[in-house]
Amino acid sequence: MNSFHEPTPGRAHWVYTHPRADSFNQHLFRTGCSALSEHYDVTVSDLYADGFDPALSERDLGSLSTVPGNVSDLAGEAYARGEVEPEVRREQEALAASELLVLQFPLWWYGPPAMLKGWLDRVLQTGFAQGDLDEDTGLPRRYGDGRLMGRKALIIVTAGDDQRTLSPRGISGDLESLLFPLTHGALWYVGIEALDLHVVYDVEAIGEAGREEERQRLADRLSGLPCERVRPYRKMLGGDYDRRTRALVDGVNPGRTDLAIHLSD
């Protein structure tokens, strides 16, 4: 029995996270959805406007809310019983149906807003997005082998810092590394392959002309999205990691500890 969710070709789900209706992010969102709709059937979740509750709580455990045990395991059992909150079920159904996931958000405190983190906590539920074991090894199916394989993700992020500040030697840290918990630790964990980040830097200082250029740059990017290659993260069960320690074997990028070691050459 295939336990994976097969995506529908030509479907995309856009998860938008910003609280202001008149923000630059909102303008990017409208431009982006319009451009993407030329190539995909797009569903949209505006988390703030929809009133999505980001807090994982006992209600996500259904009838098991008073049962002691691991929250992730209990949430998986609730999923198996069909006891999923309606707003979470809607997101899971939209994601399961899509071959492309778009996550758009402003960079707050050098990471995604709590609203989006909560979306990940609740929607990527055990049983829905992950939790299976490999039949041959008995190891968890994760990092390229989750239940949402066959999907790509585009992350659109706006930042108040300029590109130098968010560079590998910048004081705020390398943006690729700052968002590694999202691109690798969440998306790749459940099998979703990340495309290169789409970043708007120095967003408060670029002016209206610059914002118009950014809207056009996003539209152009989305027009060519079907032809883009994903970033080649290594699979956990692909031979590059020791199955006991789950660390890279000695022969792979010896002596290096930067996060790029998890990309294949």
Q: Is the dihedral of CA 201, 202, 206, 211 positive or negative?
A: positive
pLDDT category of residue 1 using cuts at 50, 70 and 90: very low
Round to whole Å and give the CA distance between 256 and 228.
Answer: 28
Four-way CATH pick for 8-232: 3.40.250.10, 2.60.120.380, 3.40.50.360, 3.20.20.140: 3.40.50.360
List every span in the chain annotated with CATH 3.40.50.360: 8-232
Distances (CA, A) of 219 to 27, 36, 83, 244, 260: 12, 8, 39, 45, 29
pLDDT, tens digit, 9 for 90 and up, residues 40-54 = 999 999 999 999 999
Round to whole Å and give the CA distance between 113 and 15.
Answer: 12
pLDDT, tens digit, 9 for 90 and up, residues 87-132 = 999 999 999 999 999 999 999 999 999 999 999 999 999 999 998 8
Has residue 180 got a pLDDT over 70? Answer: yes
